[in-house]
Structure 1
Amino acid sequence: MAIDNKIVSKYKSYLLLEKGLSKNSIEAYTNDLAKLLSYLENENLKLQDVKLDHLQQFIAQLYDLGINARSVARILSGIRSFFNYLILDGYIQEDPAELLETPKIGLKLPTVLSLEEIEDIKGCIDLSTKEGHRNRAIIEVLYSCGLRISELINLKFSDMFLNDGFIRVEGKGSKQRLVPISEIAIKEINNYLIDRDHLDIKKGSESTVFLSKRGTPISRIMVFHFIKQYAEQAGIQKNISPHTFRHSFATHLLEGGANIRAIQQMLGHEKITTTEIYTHMDREYLRQEIIEHHPRNINKR
C-alpha cells in the first residue's frame, strides 16, 4: 500500500507557500515525514486509518533504535504539521497526532558509541591472555549483529551459518530470527575458536559458543564486567553496557540510510515466530541492508 505521492507534493507546496518555510526546513520536514510514511506502508496502513496508538508505536520504535529525544521531538513536530495540513485540506476528519506527547529534551536515552570508540575498546584487549580473543569476538558480535546479551550468551554452534553469513538468534518469547554477520565478526569468532579448543569444556556446555575459562557458558555479569573495564581503559566516560553495542548497531544502520523495517527485523522487534518465514529473497534483502549501511562493511568498500 503506497502512500499517494501527490499528497506529499501538495504538502511541500503548503509548507513553501502557506507557511513560508525555507528550502532546508521543507527538506527536513519531508525527510522526517518519509520515516513515518515508510512505517505506515510497512504496516499496510492508509492515512485515513491512522490512530494515536499507531503513531505512539512509531515513536516507540524510534526510541528502540536509539534516536535521541531532540530528534524525536523534531520528527513529532513534522508529524503534527503534516496531519494538521491533512485536516485543513479535508483529507482526514480527525487529527491522530493531536494528543501525541512531546518528549522531554532532558530525557536520558540509551548511550551510543561511535565506530572509533568501539575500535578503542577493542584495542584495549590483551590478546596474549586466554580470554582476549573471546572478548574481542563477543564485542564484535554484539556490535555487528545487534544482539541482546541473553541472545549472545545462549548462542549455539547449531545457530551459526558462517559460510552463508548468518546466525540464528532466539530472542524474547523464544522467537527466532536470522541476522547477517559481518566478515570481521566471523574472523574474530574463528580466532576465538582456536583458543576455545584448548579449554576443559564441562559436560553439557559443548554446544555453547562463548565459554568462561572454566569451560562453562559465560555469564552476563562477566560480559558486563569486562566491557566496563575496557571502556575505562579506553578513556570513554559514557556509561557502557553490552546493550550499548546493540543501540550502536541500530543507530549506525539508521544513520547510514538503512530501512527502519529491516533494522527492526534484525533487532527482533517484529512478531517473527520461526526462521522458516524468511524466504531466500528476504535473507538477501537483510544481508544487502547490512552490506550497504553498516560501518563494518562500508569501511571495506
Structure 2
Amino acid sequence: MARRSNKLVTDQASDKPEIELTDFETAFNSFIRECKLKNLSKHTVKYYRDELLAFRTMLERQGISTKPGDITLKIIKENVIVYMMETLNRKETSINTRLRAIRAFFNFLEKDRQIYENPVRELSLLKQKKEVVETFSRDQLKDLLRQPDLGTFTGFRDYTIMLLLIETGVRVRELTDICVKDIRWEDSQIRIDGKGYKERLVPIQATMKCQLRKYVQIRGDVPNEALFVTIDNTPLTIRQVQNRLRKYGRKANIKNVRCSPHTFRHTFAKMSVQNGADVFALQAVLGHTSLDMVRNYVNLFSSDVMDAHKKFSPVEKLF
C-alpha cells in the first residue's frame, strides 16, 4: 500500500465549521435551547428572546439578510446602532440592552462553530451618559401613599406594594415574583428571587410586617401562590404595577419625577444612606453584584458630603 501524503489539503486543515447555519430561526432556536440547558432564569431567557427577535425584525425592515453568516460588524453598527439612534430615537441604555443580547448570540454561534466569522468580536457597548438619579421627596412619598382607596382591594394592595417598595427597594420583577410562602414572618424577612437565580433575604420591620399580615388576610386563598394578585385573582404583572404607580403619580400631581418602581428603588437607597446605612448592608438588601452602584448612592446622598460642603463652600466663605 502506498504511503500517504503527509501534507493536508486546505479543506482538511481548515478550522472553519463544516456547516454554517443558513437561517436565523435555526440559529435562534439553538441559542435559546442552550440558554435553557444552562438553566438561565426565565426572565433572562425572555430577555434574549425578545431582543433577538426585535433584532431580526429590525434587519428585515431594512431589507438586510438575517442569515447569521451574512451579518457583519458594519451591519450591526449601521443597521442596528445608528438605526436605533437616528430612526428610532433610542437612548444609549436601550441600544446597549440590545447589543448585549446580540453579542451573547453571536459569541455562542462562534463557540458552537456555527459561523465562520464572529461580527461582534470587536463590538463595544456605547458609552452611557451618567444620568441624575431621580428620587421622591418625603412629601411626595406621603402624597403618593394618600392616593390608593383603602376601602377597596386594589387600593389596599397598591398601598401595600408602595410601602414594600419603600421598605425594601426591590426591583419590580422581584416584587411580582414574591409568593406568600416567601414571607418569613418569624424572622421578619422576605426571600427575594434576584437576578441570575441569586436569592437573598430582605429584612422588614414591624410596620411593614403588620401591613403585610393585613393584606394577606384580605387577599385570602386564591388558586396561585403570587403575593400580589389582581381583582380576578391572577398574579399581578410588571406592566400592571407600572401602570398603577403612574396613575397614582398623576393623581398626586407629581411632575418633576418619573413615578416608577425604579424611582422607589432609588428613593429607598437615598433614604437608607441618609439614615446611616453602610455600603455592604445596602448592597445586600438591594442585591447588587458589585459595589459600584452602591458607592454611587453613597456619594450622591451621604449627609457627610453635604456637611463637608458646608465647611468648605467657596461662596459661603466669600462673604
TM-score, scaled relative to structure 1:
0.51
Q: Using the TM superposition, give the Cα deviation of residue 119 of structure 1 relative to its aligned residue in structure 2, in angstroms.
A: 1.6
Which residue matches 2:281? Answer: 262
State the match for 1:247 in structure 2.
266
1:136 touches 1:188 (CA, 8 Å); kept in 2? Answer: no
* 2:236 counterpart (193, 218, 238): 218
Mapping 1:164-175, distance limit 5 Å: 164-175=187-198
* 1:33-48 correspondence to structure 2 within 5 Å: none
Superposed displacement of residue 265, structure 1: 1.0
Q: Please list every run of 5 or more consecutive structure 2 residues that lacks an aligned counterpart in the other structure.
A: 1-127, 291-301, 303-319
CA distance in 2, matches of 1:140, 1:182: 11
CA contact (8 A) 1:171 1:268 kept: yes
Contact 1:133 1:191 in 2 (8 A): no
* 2:125 corresponding residue in structure 1: none
Q: Separation in 2 of the partners of 1:183 and 1:243?
A: 24
In 2, are the aligned partners of 1:167 and 1:180 still within 8 Å (CA)?
yes
- Offset, 1:191: 2.1
Q: How many residues align?
A: 163
**1:158 CA drift (Å):** 2.2
Give the Cα–Cα distance (whole angstroms) in 2 for the partners of residues 145 and 240 of structure 1. 17
Q: Which amino acid aligns with 1:225?
A: N
What's the secondary structure of 1:236's corresponding residue? coil
Partner of 1:190: 213
Pairwise CA RMSD? 2.0
- Decide which of 145, 157, 161 is 2:180's aligned counterpart: 157
Note if contact 1:133-1:188 (Cα within 8 Å) is conserved in structure 2.
Answer: no
Greater C-alpha Rg: 2
Provide Cα deviations, 1:141-176, integer angstroms capped at 9, x if missing partner: 111011000111010122111222111111000101
One-letter amino acid matched to 1:218:
L
Q: Deviations over 1:214-253 (max 9, x none)?
A: 1111011111111111111112112110111111111111
Give the letter aligned to residue 163 of structure 1: E
What is the distance in 2 between the residues matched to 1:228 and 1:184?
25
Could you tell me which residue of structure 2 aligns to residue 180 of structure 1?
Answer: 203
SS in 1 for 2:242: helix
What aligned pairs does 1:11-160 form with structure 2 within 5 A after superposition? Answer: 107-160=130-183
Show CA shifts across 1:101-151 (max 9, x none). xx97xx533310122211210111111122111111111111101100011
TM-score under structure 2 length normalisation: 0.48
SS in 2 for 1:141: helix
Q: Give the match for residue 109 of structure 2.
A: none
Of 205, 208, 213, which aligns to 2:226?
Answer: 208
What one-letter code is carried by the residue in structure 2 that aligns with 1:211? V
Three-state SS of the structure 2 residue aligned to 1:208 is coil
**Partners of 1:149 and 1:122 in 2: how far apart?**
18
CA distance in 2, matches of 1:257, 1:184: 20
Q: Classify the secondary structure of the residue corresponding to 1:167.
A: strand
The whole-number CA distance in structure 1 between the counterparts of 2:173 and 2:270 is: 20
CA separation in 2, counterparts of 1:142 and 1:185?
10
**Secondary structure of the residue that 1:153 maps to in structure 2?**
helix
SS of alignment partner, residue 153 of structure 2:
coil
Q: CA deviation at 1:185?
A: 1.7
Question: Counterparts of 1:130 and 1:265 in 2: how far apart (Å)?
Answer: 32
State how far apart, in whole Å, the 1-side matches of 2:211 and 2:139 are. 18
Shift of 1:258: 1.2
Report sequence identity in percent.
Answer: 32
Counterpart in 2 of 1:100?
A: none
Task: Supply the distance in 1 between the matched residues of 2:263 and 2:205 (Cα, whole angstroms).
Answer: 18
Q: For 2:190, what is the secondary structure of its paired residue?
A: strand
Summarize deviations over 1:67-97 as a string: whole Å, max 9, x none. Answer: xxxxxxxxxxxxxxxxxxxxxxxxxxxxxxx
Higher relative contact order at CA 8 Å, sep ≥6: structure 1 or structure 2? 1
